[in-house]
Chain A
């Protein structure tokens, strides 16, 4: 399982776009990149998942360069309610891994008014 490295914390202001970058130098061919969001005293919530190039949904965008050694979660126009911890995970989606998700330390995003 590829190890991931993210910034421990980030600050932003309401209305700004926030980009959180995750490094995963040892990503394997079959690995997908997944991001989860967690609010205090709640379980993590799936945000977005991708394999290469760009993925966009109603919540965020995920940018993955050609070498796939990093990925960037982009949150457009954040609000105070986006204050949370964001986790980047890398894992093989095509091969059984027994539902095991490996969470790193995550990035604590603080959005200020």
Chain B
């Protein structure tokens, strides 16, 4: 079956702009989590959505938001972009709302200039 699909793969934005990233989980998976990866901070949890509801949130400012649709697809939005938001954004899907095996997508590489 198809894996986790993230679009776009690469993105360049200007400071102050906003961006929307998309994630399609594995078919049948209902939990979608988002992570930010930077060389300095490593992999950090952003938030998790399950059944269209945000169930858990990491320690990120309110500029980072997300949502999940009825088909479990998820989007992540970052407003008022800052240079420090440049990172690899990873989406992971799991069957249920538990710490079971997570399947990661290839990520979206966001560069803010």
CB of B55 to closest CB in A, whole Å: 4
In the complex formed, the residue of B with least CB distance to A90 is: B99
Q: Is B67 an interface residue (CB 8 A)?
A: no
Chain B interface SS verdict (over half) = strand
Q: Which of A17-25, A66-74, A75-83, A102-110 contacts B (4 or more CB under 8 A)?
A: A102-110
Rounded to whole angstroms, the CA-CA distance of A3 and B31 in the bound complex is 24
Q: A99-B56, A99-B92, A103-B43 are in contact. Are A42 and B107 (CB under 8 A)?
A: yes
CB of A106 to closest CB in B, whole Å: 7
Interface residues of B (CB under 8 A from A): 4, 31-33, 35, 42-45, 48, 50, 55-56, 58, 88, 90-92, 94, 97-107, 109
Interface residues of A (CB under 8 A from B): 32, 34, 41-46, 49, 87, 91-94, 96-106
